[in-house]
Amino acid sequence: MNAPAHPDHLLPQLNLRDVPPELITALKARFAERCSTALVVCEQHGRDESSFAAPPPSAVVFAESTADVAEAVKLAAQYQVPVIPFGVGTSLEGHLLAVQGGISIDVSRMNRVLSVNAEDLTVTVQAGVTRKQLNEEVKSTGLFFPIDPGADATLGGMSATRASGTNAVRYGTMRENVLALEVVTASGEVIRTGTRAKKSSAGYDLTRLMVGSEGTLGVITEVTVKLYPLPEAISAAICSFPSIEAAVRTTIQIIQLGVPIARVELIDSNTVRMVNAYAKLGLREEPMLLMEFHGSPSSVKEQAETVQEIAADLGGNAFEWASTPEERTRLWTARHNAYFAAIQSKPGCRAISTDTCVPISRLADCLLDSVSEADASGIPYFLVGHVGDGNFHFGYLIDPDKPEERATAEALNHTLVARALSLEGTCTGEHGVGLHKMDFLVTEAGTGAVDMMRTIKRALDPLNIMNPGKIFTL
Amino acid sequence: MNAPAHPDHLLPQLNLRDVPPELITALKARFAERCSTALVVCEQHGRDESSFAAPPPSAVVFAESTADVAEAVKLAAQYQVPVIPFGVGTSLEGHLLAVQGGISIDVSRMNRVLSVNAEDLTVTVQAGVTRKQLNEEVKSTGLFFPIDPGADATLGGMSATRASGTNAVRYGTMRENVLALEVVTASGEVIRTGTRAKKSSAGYDLTRLMVGSEGTLGVITEVTVKLYPLPEAISAAICSFPSIEAAVRTTIQIIQLGVPIARVELIDSNTVRMVNAYAKLGLREEPMLLMEFHGSPSSVKEQAETVQEIAADLGGNAFEWASTPEERTRLWTARHNAYFAAIQSKPGCRAISTDTCVPISRLADCLLDSVSEADASGIPYFLVGHVGDGNFHFGYLIDPDKPEERATAEALNHTLVARALSLEGTCTGEHGVGLHKMDFLVTEAGTGAVDMMRTIKRALDPLNIMNPGKIFTL
């Protein structure tokens, strides 16, 4: 295996179950060459963008339809073998790791846009459609799908982790944008969780129970999401600040004034430095806000004027504006390259990513002390943030072969999460719990709430075969 | 009992359980005069705004704290007796009826606003706070809570039914606006379902599982919701149309163009006539749209111009504008009085309310045939709608002593729901399932999805004491 080594204490969920050869035989009989047990295929499906490693799944089924998924799940249920849904593998929290063994169900071939309802601003897609593909396919309608977690993730995966990203400050997260799902349950039954109506009070909100359930309650096979009219005008801007604090205080004022900003991203000076080295951008190596405004021309102008005034008052300078798509792309290069630039800055490293999110009024309190601690630790890091939502990510760059670096990074994260929780925030704004935040979840939600989650899990998946060992252990 | 008689077949849920005198003794010992068994008190807590009736609960506990609720639930659990949460009794679907006997827990004395976080645009209240009270208490902050279901309902009740109303087209429903809840579970344990962070991926979305669960999974005791800055400018307008179709097509175009309209309400000519008779308004007795625009002065002007152009093109006329609060209130009188005007138009009547919601492109298809059917039935009705969301309500005015009128109204509703479902809509946009829409729910969601709801219910409430007999039967 190429995946990095890891200290065992990070994977208490490791509890391999037997995958009987009869199941593999049955899967091969049903799926032929679409069921692979090749080590390279299994290994590729047994890791994600997290820094964890576990033995790979025993087989990968490449599903091409909901019926395929249902049959694979039924066979797995028959042998009580875990099932791990796989989209394109961009999870950051170990969601895809076969910590209890089992089979991976790859839905990436389920990549058809099933119906665009431009008049209703909705679209229904198979779970393997990625967000960039979706936007390409609906472009001619004048509509777009705003949720942008950075990676070109699948809509199924984004639903499963309740993803969000840069545009969430204006358009919300997957929680607000998924209207309905088709789900294969733990018994292999196919259900639909909603309609295309914009709102409904028809029974329990199974859609939102599934959104964020990380594959532990079922396999998402279809997703109906909202679309939005492409804004009449879009304007982007970058602005440098003398300190992170000034950038953060600018953000807080923007949000508190109710400016309907579409994106407001923080990039710290470390990260600007890495991005300059990686992409020769020649940006001022100071903390920076990247912003985007959507609306009518007059509304965009109003928003931009308000923001420029706030920023200038707090020492913001070197405002640079862009309104054509090409210019905007250039400004956003720094943000889009941050992760890869950081990884390249320390060859062989892995990033341990944090994901706290706090009420906007607490953002400075949460962020500034954590920056001091990270600086003092000696661990290199990058810092980016969807600060308009109070959400930010440190990426601590560790050598996976040096347990002491991992320990330092985990200790920094621990302190950060404790601080965020004390400020009425959450341990994960958008990445999910996965393998990494189970203890934090208990601290955040309380044992009573986590026990309620467990009770739901046990009731809906009595054999504990749906992505077991994630979110909580049973 | 003053509640109207009813044909038994409408309440298949009626299945009275024994309430042992030991429970009443224990409740009186614990709550003294805050536990009432007076018939008049029990009867008042055993009905709502629906047209159904059932025997009243055996006792009413007036809770003043979360601990009170928890203790009452624990006692009820000990004797396996149903618990029905009660706010101010404005449910339209029989949610409050003791169809399986039991006790009512009245939370209306839990009416404190606990913390206003103006900087974060959030507020936490006890479940008995009503929406008007909340808006009064936060007025000085320059913020407001937009969800307006018409009645001055409690935040707990609005959460439990996933309520919405006139402002939802712009601000969303309780689904989008509740950040976190405190809930007393079926075992009397107290849990919190979220934090004040704007977004989170921390485990199952218990908040949204509880929102819309109609008291069947727990008693909501605290609610944290979003607030919004009072718009800089507000402008309201009414406009008459030659036909319902013209009004509906105007609405569809407004929404499809992405105008961020805050309210767009349809009132049919029947209802205008009733309101004129009730409140001497002298309005043109034609179908009418009531609209409201929120934003900066220039944005409000832009929105208004766009809408006026669309409406004029479809025959809209007699536009009347209002921008001061007094003028706006006058324009909205027709909408706010619609229900009472209708009830008064036929003395002794009850209204059987429909609540379908369809994708906006299907609105005309759904509405126009249903109007023809209602006209042909001979049953008087009013018709109002949150048409911007594709949601509308017929109120069929029946004499509760004439089973044939009820049967006709139910048949009209049945046809309407079937039509809405065939158009990818829902049987209930905002009122909930309650006693009235169980069969519709199965048709809409499918037996698999409803069985999943039942499984969750059984797991979280194994004694089936939390508002049993609502949403589905077990």
Contact B65, B71 (CB under 8 A): no
Confidence of residue B187 (pLDDT cuts 50, 70, 90): very high
Interface test with A, best of B182, B189, B204, B362 (most A CBs within 10 A): B204
The C-alpha atoms of residue B449 and residue A181 are separated, in whole angstroms, by 11
The C-alpha atoms of residue A181 and residue A196 are separated, in whole angstroms, by 10
Which residues of A are less than 8 Å from B218 in CB distance?
none
Query: Pairing relation of β-strands B178-184 and B190-192?
Result: antiparallel
Contact B188, B70 (CB under 8 A): yes
pLDDT computed for residue B7 by the predictor: 43
What pLDDT, in 10s, does the model give residues B272-286? 999 999 988 889 999
Beta strand spans in B185-324 (E): 190-192, 219-226, 228-229, 233-240, 263-267, 288-295, 317-322
Phi, psi for residue A240 in degrees, rounded to 5: -95, 155
Which residues of A are less than 8 Å from B360 in CB distance?
119-120, 198
Could you tell me if the ipTM is greater than 0.90? yes
For residue A237, the surrounding DSSP H or E stretch is strand A233-240
Contact B45, B60 (CB under 8 A): yes
A250 vs A48, A318, B67, CA distance in Å?
35, 15, 42
Please check the confidence at residue B11 and state whether its pLDDT lies above 90: no
Counting every residue written for chain A, the total comes to: 474
Interchain contact, B197 vs A424, CB within 8 Å? yes
What contacts A67, CB < 8 A, 6 or more positions away?
none
pLDDT computed for residue B257 by the predictor: 87
Interchain contact, B445 vs A302, CB within 8 Å? no
What's the token pair of residue B441?
């729910």
State how far residue B438 is from chain A, nearest Cα, in angstroms: 9
What contacts A432, CB < 8 A, 6 or more positions away?
A91, A93, A95, A160, A161, A162, A212, A214, A471, B201
Counting every residue written for chain B, the total comes to: 474
Query: Which among B197, B357, B455 has CB closest to A358?
Result: B197
Which residues of A are less than 8 Å from B425 in CB distance?
195-197
* Helix runs in A18-104, H state only: 21-31, 39-44, 66-78
Task: Output DSSP code: residue B24.
Answer: H
User: How many CB atoms are closer than 10 A to CB B302?
Assistant: 19
For chain A, the first-to-last Cα distance in angstroms comes to 28
pLDDT computed for residue A71 by the predictor: 98
Beta strand spans in B120-209 (E): 122-126, 143-144, 178-184, 190-192
Each residue's pLDDT expressed in tens, for chain A with a length of 474 residues:
333 344 444 576 788 999 999 999 999 999 999 999 999 999 999 998 888 889 999 999 999 999 999 999 999 999 999 999 999 999 999 999 999 999 999 999 999 999 999 999 999 999 999 999 999 999 999 999 999 999 999 999 999 999 999 999 999 999 999 999 999 999 999 999 999 999 999 999 999 999 999 999 999 999 999 999 999 999 999 999 999 999 999 999 999 888 999 999 999 999 999 999 998 888 999 999 999 999 989 889 999 999 999 999 999 987 889 888 888 888 888 888 899 999 999 999 999 999 999 999 999 999 999 999 999 999 999 999 999 999 999 999 999 899 999 999 999 999 999 999 999 999 999 999 999 899 999 999 999 999 999 999 999 999 999 999 999 999
- Coil, helix or strand for B264? strand
B74 vs A275, B291, B456, CA distance in Å?
59, 47, 20
What's the token pair of residue A393?
């990510």
Cross-strand partners of B180: B224
Asked if CATH classification 3.30.465.10 holds for the domain at B8-106, the reply, yes or no, is yes
The C-alpha atoms of residue A204 and residue B460 are separated, in whole angstroms, by 13
Query: Which among A199, A217, A299 has CB closest to B429?
Result: A199
Domain boundaries, chain B: 8-106, 113-229, 233-422
Query: Which among B193, B449, B471 has CB closest to A193?
Result: B449
Interchain contact, B360 vs A198, CB within 8 Å? yes
What's the token pair of residue B33?
């005069």
Q: What number is the average pLDDT over the span B159-174? A: 97
Mean pLDDT of chain B: 94
Task: Output DSSP code: residue A364.
Answer: H
pLDDT computed for residue B10 by the predictor: 57
Please check the confidence at residue B464 and state whether its pLDDT lies above 60: yes
- Coil, helix or strand for A394? strand
Contact A237, A211 (CB under 8 A): no
Task: Output DSSP code: residue B169.
Answer: H
**What are the b/e assignments for A188-217, b being 16+ CB within 10 Å?**
bbbbbbbbbbbbbbbbbbbbbbbbbbbbbb
What pLDDT, in 10s, does the model give residues A74-105? 999 999 999 999 999 999 999 999 999 999 99
Considering only alpha carbons, which residue of chain B is nearest residue A420?
B197
The C-alpha atoms of residue B141 and residue A258 are separated, in whole angstroms, by 14
User: How many CB atoms are closer than 10 A to CB A42?
Assistant: 20
Which residues of B are less than 8 Å from A453 in CB distance?
203-204, 206
Asked if CATH classification 3.30.465.10 holds for the domain at A113-229, the reply, yes or no, is yes
Interchain contact, B425 vs A196, CB within 8 Å? yes
pLDDT computed for residue A273 by the predictor: 95
Could you please report the per-residue DSSP string of A79-113? TT--EEEESSS--SSSTT--BTB-EEEE-TT---E
More confident residue, B152 or B50: B152
Beta strand spans in A158-215 (E): 178-184, 190-192
Q: What is the distance, to the nearest Å, from the Cα of residue B468 to the centroid of all Cα atoms in its chain?
A: 19
The one-letter amino acid at B95: H
Please check the confidence at residue B4 and state whether its pLDDT lies above 80: no
Q: Which fold has domain A233-422?
A: Vanillyl-alcohol Oxidase; Chain A, domain 3 (3.40.462)
pLDDT computed for residue B8 by the predictor: 42
For chain B, give the percent of residues with pLDDT over 70: 98
The answer to whether domain B8-106 and domain B113-229 are alike in fold is yes
Interface test with B, best of A114, A147, A175, A201 (most B CBs within 10 A): A201
Which residues of A are less than 8 Å from B206 in CB distance?
445, 449, 452-453
pLDDT computed for residue B322 by the predictor: 87
